[in-house]
Amino acid sequence: MADDPIALFAAWFAEAKASEPNDPDAMALATATPDGRPSVRMVLLKGFGPEGFTFYTNADSRKGEELSFDPHAALLFHWKSLRRQVRIEGPVNEVDAAEADVYFATRSRDSQLGAHASDQSRPLADRSTFEERYDEVKRHFEGRDVPRPDRWTGFRVTPERIEYWTDRPHRLHERRLFVRDGDGWTEGLLYP
């Protein structure tokens, strides 16, 4: 048994990056609507460490609005090639503007422009409307750096629970659960 679930995640994530054919950083993000209904979608992990697991989005998107109402989330990584899953649950906080700026600057120019052109999660009459907005934004920023839009930001899930699931024959899976305990963690096993 390991006593550092973040170090274990780093080891598993490194293996996933070596074996997953597509998007080893893809994770399901579950939030809740104001009336308590679950809502889930795939996002990309953009950073992790003892402070938490970070992803970026438009704060006015559906997920951003749900997190402003209930700042708790669950994450799920499923690495089929390794026959492993990691489940993470905890409170969510927005990253500071400087951190969001640093990450935004690493994105491709097209992705930066798309962040300005998109009213993420809002109704769209037709694809050409978005493409026209994208072209307008592209012309507007021609020859200049593209700044981060004010409402485009990052969110960090601070883990309170992390479960490591390993597939075993005959559905006799292994489940290891880490639960935050002050500044450390307690660890135990769960029945499959």
Give phi and psi for 85, each to the nearest 5. Answer: -135, 150
Residue 37 bears catalytic tag: no
Q: What is the rounded CA–CA span in Å between residue 174 and residue 192?
A: 6
- The answer to whether 87 and 76 have CB atoms below 8 angstroms apart is yes
Query: Could you confirm whether domain 5-101+153-190 is CATH 2.10.240.10?
Result: no
Which one from 171, 175, 176, 180 is the annotated catalytic residue?
Answer: 171
Give pLDDT tens digits along the chain (192 positions): 567 999 999 999 999 999 998 999 999 999 999 999 999 999 999 999 999 999 999 999 999 999 999 999 999 999 999 999 999 999 999 999 999 999 999 999 999 999 999 998 989 999 999 999 999 999 999 999 999 999 999 999 999 999 999 999 899 999 999 999 999 999 999 999
Domain ranges of the chain: 5-101+153-190
pLDDT in tens, 42-98: 999 999 999 999 999 999 999 999 999 999 999 999 999 999 999 999 999 999 999
Tokens of 149: 């839009």
